[in-house]
Structure 1
């Protein structure tokens, strides 16, 4: 009965799109082991080739169907001039990508204008949040075979990261962990080693605006958690949220520029949160006397990233 209901009103097809076909091929199944998922670097090459096919198909559609979305002559000329084209022989020979082509100029500009419209209507963002993927997440490791490595399973990493992003969005938008949200925007980027990370901008409602330093401290900490009251958080912060080693401990670290850390670590001890002169808040970072052993060196609060959760880095936007 359920299958019949799903099929009602749908046109039957005997073909599938390229995207649908490769989505099927990349799906993990308990009773149908697909060897291609476990071929390591070969699988990565296979995934890249799949995407190139999809992108080429989209580009071909845009090239062969210019009349469906081409601008008028005047608008087209103005568009060419905005691109900096001054050679008259090239005018009229441009191929315009539709805004449905992800990553194209029109797509990027449309997203940019959407974000600007949100800021104009709701005001500046209040929180800047970065969420990074961890290849040691239980959801990833429990689905790896004995011969697999997370770096060779971009499909698995992307699915796990997407699921956690959706859970984070639920926390922010429905569970209101920061209060009522008026608007939000985010983008997902990939690191050079293949792991994704996401940047969120959160605009809180007028009633929930962070107007005092006490409100900052309620959300963000730049101090080591108490190892007795929060042992798990303390352990994870030491593992994931400590910067360095840099400065005098490691003067050749990648963050060092002209003898100084470009991220301004180690930070100074501060007894109270304040709004910084350079528009960045200076978070409370008290000298508790606690010393921790990280990567063979003794560290203090000075090297701790500001954090709200074990997997999130957070900054107040002022």
Structure 2
């Protein structure tokens, strides 16, 4: 037998009152005496009635729901960022719907359409690796939904953004390797469609130039986010006539695959090969040696995204105009066993 969910009409019938009066009682309307409110709440508990706050919020012009789209929920950076978003949203009485694109542009478009249909108040998005246009974001704005990009962003789309200083982070990561005596440093990057990877490569190259170290074109490997691409690029470099003595990668997942590949090939880390990643995932502490990484402060990153939404919503309510701002989250190089030689 299927259990039927108790509705406000069932509650009204049980108490011989109108559904509108019951609704007022449940929402603590001043026209309903406290004595009646208590009786309605008691009967609601008895019948296992759950107040449909979603419908009530929609009547007030807000669903009090935020949509979040990330490439992969399983990645530590995004998991922690989502935790930060949820904490702030919960404290403000908002719910969160989480979608993942799996770095697919098609899946990202589907997620956006789904969240628009769900009448979310805002969408927080870190775009997929395949995304190199902002046209699919336009319906979000056209439907009156606020959008905030974080971490991976599309530069030419005018909206609020939260990100790290990606050029500075890669510069600092490369300079750390240089400070440890590494002189032939390779770079394993991501798709050049996204500014995040363009800026990290720029920071890497800047560090080499300022330090007077050579830039070898064959050491720069873009589009190597996927494990198989990372492993292939690492093997190719470590079997070439010009072998690098260190690797800057754009994720801890990449750094882990570089480490495992180098060790399998008989190289000593950090004595012969230095490695640094991005994200400061928990996995960086369980490898041997432990992995150096750039701490992007992902939980703080997520908190700032949600805090920015509520700050903007309040200001726009007061000023009556759109506010598009960019917040930069600081980052730190965490030096560990994979790169510390001194």
TM-score, normalisation: structure 2: 0.21
